[in-house]
Structure 1
């Protein structure tokens, strides 16, 4: 597990970014103008994941010209992948609570206050998230709400509740707040899923970390008082991107279900993953009757079901690759 450094502050906002030079100013301005935080000792840290644009210069400008009383710190994380960036953020953070805000997230004026207050009022909460609204460059397709969760848009109503970790119903990493003590005592130093690094765009890194928190006994909460907007550019609603996203979300399903499973449950999970998704595919084909090639939402769903069905084989391939790489290292 990670080693916690001594906490000195109440709250850390951690912004992992890759080539976010144009996006960061809008996010930083919203954070600099947060309300009801006069007595809060907090900081913003930027985790630059090998940007090739002017991200570093943007942060240097704010560091020189910001008159606020909190810290703005910058770190370069050379290991590519959002999982490495978030782990680096945890290691560098000085706050009791750590909020992960992506460089395309726009927090409401009281987002920091609501995030901090919830953590103080729920000492058993290891992680919590709120409402994530879509800020669309173009109008989304009809029935988009059926797949909006895959683009980190979450609107689960006005009542607080626990997330259903056993069924992988968990919040995304964007706009997630974690208790540093919980993360450091529960989440391994290295995660299986590193982020959407290759053409397959395999996800799972957010859910994997939360499953470890859940396994250690920490609660994971939905707090509707936290509001943040997720900017969705037009290309994220295009067919090719959505197909790759659907497949990447599906390929991690089996491996994620194994994290909290006992050994005797693993064969059952294998069978349920294959047969359950096969059933969903057949239902889908009957429902759309040939329209699945023209309906964008149907295309997304069928690709997710197919990828979920074959996720055990992807998992086995990943394990074989890992064994092979470790064998080479040992022989060297």
Structure 2
């Protein structure tokens, strides 16, 4: 494994306690210490993060500050400073498996035909998981598990991967561009689509990604994210960001009402009927799923209406 292959990009905003755990895991990798660097981007933290980062003595850790608020701003700043030919992305509330770096490097060396790799993001519940919070609701929690076998995703199978556990060849970003500033998470905003937008461009350029079940990170799921109110807000925000992205699959119908495609209006009417029927028959979980689809539509429609 040649020296200095991989740059880990880790934006952070006011999560100093979680950041300590994330960095500890990144510095206890099985890969040779000179094979990777960790670039931490302080995105206007005010909770002691700057002081903690100043105390770091491990030379693998490089600390940057990005005053423009937003995860895409932070990631793009780190991309510009990165020295590796592989760029790996993770989050400040995530802990990587000990072989995470080695798994990424080995996979990309063995598969020169793929642009990048992604893997499992599994939960560590801070409190007891509510019975309704099944895998069907993992999206708002930024959790991911596409099964036990490796899979290839491309334009024909454009499955999303999550920026908490994602690595790309640096050359790919020269080809498709950096993370979008228009659909990024800002501060504690939720529902953003910067990861989806980037992968949409990768697939659109003819690229492909490899899913590796053994490329593992653990995400700590805080109790507030296990509340239905959080999921309602996430789906509303997700709809808003989808409206901004204007993906071809969302804009596929020519007929629109105030900028909202007709097929989304038909789907919303169907979801409203499903919600009502589920409520009347006491199928509360089905009603909640229909409500979340309506929340997505509401966020989408409000954005297109310009409100």
Fold agreement, TM-score > 0.5: yes
Kept in 2: contact 1:281–1:305 (CA 8 A): no
Kept in 2: contact 1:252–1:308 (CA 8 A): no
CA distance in 2, matches of 1:232, 1:262: 30
Q: 2:54 matched to 1:60? A: yes
Q: CA RMSD in A?
A: 2.8
- Deviation of the 1:305 alpha carbon: 1.2
- Deviation of the 1:17 alpha carbon: 0.2
- Which residue of 30, 39, 43 corresponds with 1:49? 43
- Deviation of the 1:271 alpha carbon: 2.3
Show the counterpart of 2:119.
Answer: 130
Show the counterpart of 1:324.
Answer: none
- Deviation of the 1:39 alpha carbon: 7.7
Show the counterpart of 1:276.
Answer: 267
Kept in 1: contact 2:122–2:145 (CA 8 A): yes
Q: 2:307 matched to 1:316? A: no
- Deviation of the 1:184 alpha carbon: 2.3
Q: SS state of the match for residue 138, structure 1?
A: coil
- Deviation of the 1:227 alpha carbon: 0.9
Show the counterpart of 1:325.
Answer: none
Show the counterpart of 1:27.
Answer: 22
Decide whether aligned partners of structure 1 residues 245 and 189 sit closer, same or farther in structure 2, where only a CA change above 3 A counts.
Answer: closer
- Deviation of the 1:273 alpha carbon: 2.6
- Which residue of 52, 63, 71 corresponds with 2:60? 71
- Deviation of the 1:183 alpha carbon: 1.5
- Which residue of 290, 294, 299 corresponds with 1:302? 290
Show the counterpart of 1:173.
Answer: 163
| Structure 2 unaligned blocks of 5 or more | none
Aligned length: 300
Q: SS state of the match for residue 289, structure 1?
A: helix
Show the counterpart of 1:141.
Answer: 130
- Deviation of the 1:88 alpha carbon: 1.5
Q: SS state of the match for residue 220, structure 2?
A: strand
Q: Could you list the per-position Cα deviations for residues 166-194 of structure 1 after superposition, in whole angstroms to 9, with x for gaps in the alignment?
A: 68630121111122110122025743212
Kept in 2: contact 1:249–1:304 (CA 8 A): no
CA distance in 2, matches of 1:163, 1:30: 28
CA distance in 2, matches of 1:127, 1:140: 32
CA distance in 2, matches of 1:235, 1:113: 34
Kept in 2: contact 1:270–1:312 (CA 8 A): no
Q: 2:101 matched to 1:112? A: yes
Decide whether aligned partners of structure 1 residues 262 and 310 sit closer, same or farther in structure 2, where only a CA change above 3 A counts.
Answer: closer
Q: Give TM-score scaled by structure 1 length.
A: 0.80
Q: SS state of the match for residue 155, structure 1?
A: coil
Show the counterpart of 1:13.
Answer: 8
Show the counterpart of 2:236.
Answer: 247
Q: 2:181 matched to 1:191? A: yes
- Which residue of 245, 251, 254 corresponds with 1:267? 254
Q: SS state of the match for residue 181, structure 2?
A: coil
Kept in 1: contact 2:239–2:295 (CA 8 A): yes
Q: Could you list the per-position Cα deviations for residues 146-175 of structure 1 after superposition, in whole angstroms to 9, with x for gaps in the alignment?
A: 111321111221111123666863012111
Decide whether aligned partners of structure 1 residues 262 and 51 sit closer, same or farther in structure 2, where only a CA change above 3 A counts.
Answer: closer
Range 190-199 or range 244-253, more displaced: 190-199
CA distance in 2, matches of 1:252, 1:303: 18
Kept in 2: contact 1:274–1:310 (CA 8 A): no
- Which residue of 196, 210, 218 corresponds with 1:221? 210
| Structure 1 unaligned blocks of 5 or more | 1-7, 322-332
CA distance in 1, matches of 2:88, 2:195: 13
- Deviation of the 1:291 alpha carbon: 4.3
Decide whether aligned partners of structure 1 residues 303 and 80 sit closer, same or farther in structure 2, where only a CA change above 3 A counts.
Answer: farther
